[in-house]
Structure 1
Amino acid sequence: MNDANKLTLEQEFKLAIYTKKVYRLSNKNIKMYLIETLKQMMIKDNIIKYFIKNSMS
């Protein structure tokens, strides 16, 4: 695996904490948080694309 695709030790720790929290949630809450997370990831992608596009000018 490429080093750029690996998680740092801190990220792995955070992932373990979030994994424990997710397993405690109900299905309804999991779906709600998943949709919100996907939305935030799309917004982040849009912001990155915007800055890349505008940095070329």
Structure 2
Amino acid sequence: MDLSGQLSMEQQFKLKVLQEQVQGLSKEQAQEYLLEMFRQMMVKDNLVKNLLRNA
């Protein structure tokens, strides 16, 4: 497993697509999007922690 912080080619592509999608957002939309993304990342972190705890 590569934990070096590098993105795969597929991840780089997805990031570029996302960059193009968010460029047209208003400030309020961008803030809402950012908060939702962080919320989802925290949920993911909790799921991983729970899986590791129960492994």
TM-score, structure 1 as length reference:
0.85
Unaligned runs of 5+ in 1: none
Unaligned runs of 5+ in 2: none
Deviations 1:1-55 (A, max 9, x none): x863111111111101100111111111000010000000000000000010111
Partner of 1:39: 39
Given the superposition, is the C-alpha separation of residues 3 and 54 from structure 1 closer, same or farther in structure 2, using an over 3 Å criterion?
closer
**Runs of 4+ deviating beyond 6 Å:** none
Partner of 2:17: 17
How many pairs were matched up?
54
The structure number with the bigger radius of gyration is 1
Partner of 2:52: 52
Larger helix fraction of residues: 1
Identity in percent: 37
